[in-house]
Each structure stands twice: as C-alpha cells, then as structure tokens.
Structure 1
Amino acid sequence: MKKKFEIMIDSSDLVDIGFKPFQAKQIIRECKDYLVTIEGIDFYDNRQVKIVPARIVEKLFSIQIF
C-alpha cells in the first residue's frame, strides 16, 4: 500500500518565495481559518500550529508553490 504525504508550508517558505514576513503570516492565518471553518479540521484552531498544506495556499491564493 502506497502512502501519500502532503507538502506542508510555513511562513518562512512563503518569505523565500518573495512575500514579506507579515504577508506570509497573514496567508498562513487565512489558510488556517479556511481549514477550520470550511473543511472542519479543528487541529488548525491552535495558535501554535504554524504550517498548512501547500494545496490550500495554492487553492485560496492561486499561487504555484512547487
């Protein structure tokens, strides 16, 4: 059985792409809010979680990450 893992992204990855640090944190925050409210994943309703799946960033902001 083949396992599939998602690529996770944090604000430092977004800064490396070219976003400013505040913009990167805002993007992560909005992605976390989307995951909690729309997809119902309560894990992301935590201040200490600083990573989100790259597919969510690509979906919400139409940014090609990898």
Structure 2
Amino acid sequence: MARQKKDSKPFSIRMDKTIYDKLEAFCEESGQPKTVAIERAVEAYVEDYNEKMKRAEESNNN
C-alpha cells in the first residue's frame, strides 16, 4: 500500500559543501532522508527562535 502524500512545497537551495557533507554523513548514520533531517532542523530552529522572542518580550513587559 502506498503512503499518503503529504502537503509539501518544493524547495531548492545552494548549501556550503562542508555543511552538506556533514548533513549527508548525519543522514547516512541516522538512516533518515535529508528531507526529514532538514525539516526537523528548521522546525527546531524556528521553535527555539520563537521561544526566545517570547521570553524576551515577557522580560521587557515586566
């Protein structure tokens, strides 16, 4: 049975070769596709940024 396709958007970037090589090694070691690794990394980065901004705003309001 085929997997249901997720709602997605094609995305293309130019990445520094050193970073790409690290990503490729990580994906080979962890067994996850590059797409999954990048999605998780971006999600974690954005969530961390949003949390820091929320704390900074709360700190400024006190």
Task: Determine which structure has the larger helix proportion and give its number.
Answer: 2
Greater C-alpha Rg = 2
TM over 0.5: no
TM-score band, normalised by shorter chain: 0.3 to 0.5
In terms of fraction of residues, the more strand-rich structure is 1
Of structures 1 and 2, the one with the larger relative CO (CA 8 A, separation 6+) is 1
TM-score scaled by length of structure 2: 0.38
